[in-house]
Amino acid sequence: MKRKLILLTALFLLVPGLVFSDTVSFRVGYFIPRGQSDLWEMEFEQMTFNKSNYQNTNFCFSYEYFLARQISVVIGIDSYSKNKVGNYIGYVGYTFEEGDFAFPEEYYVGDWVPSHVFSVSITPIQLSLKLTPMGRQDKIIPYVGGGVGLYIWTVRLQGDMVDFSDEWSFEDPDLGDVPIFPVWPTDAREENKIAFGYHVFGGIMIPFARRITLDAQFKYNRAEGTFKDAFEGFEPFDLGGYQISVGINYWF
Q: Residue 70 belongs to a domain with what CATH number? A: 2.40.160.20
| Long-range contacts formed by 201-206: CB under 8 A, 24+ apart | 201/128, 201/144, 201/145, 201/146, 202/142, 202/143, 202/144, 202/145, 203/142, 203/143, 204/140, 204/141, 204/142, 204/143, 205/136, 205/140, 205/141, 205/143, 205/249, 206/139, 206/140, 206/141
Q: What is the reported pLDDT for 3?
A: 54
The answer to whether residue 72 sits within a structural domain is: yes
Kindly report the average pLDDT of the chain as a whole number.
91
pTM for the model stands at: 0.87
Our count of domains for the chain comes to 1
The answer to whether residue 172 sits within a structural domain is: no
Alpha carbon distance 54, 62 (integer Å): 24
What pLDDT digit, counting tens, does each position of 216-225 carry? 999 999 999 9
The answer to whether residue 73 sits within a structural domain is: yes
The answer to whether residue 201 sits within a structural domain is: yes
- Smallest CA-to-CA distance from 184 within 158, 205, 222, 203 is with 158
Q: What is the reported pLDDT for 1?
A: 53
As a three-state string, the secondary structure of 38-68 is HHHHHHHHHECCCHHHHCEEEEEEEEEEECC
Domain with 40, as residue range(s), is 2-82+119-155+192-251
What pLDDT digit, counting tens, does each position of 140-190 carry? 999 999 999 999 999 999 999 999 999 999 999 999 999 999 999 999 999
The answer to whether residue 100 sits within a structural domain is: no
Alpha carbon distance 131, 218 (integer Å): 15
pLDDT at 136 > cutoff 70: yes
The answer to whether residue 180 sits within a structural domain is: no
The answer to whether residue 161 sits within a structural domain is: no
* Cα end-to-end distance, the chain, whole Å: 34
The answer to whether residue 87 sits within a structural domain is: no
Q: What is the reported pLDDT for 15?
A: 46
Based on the number of CB atoms within 10 Å of its own CB, is 182 exposed (0-12), middle (13-18) or buried (19 or more)?
Answer: middle
Q: What is the reported pLDDT for 246?
A: 98
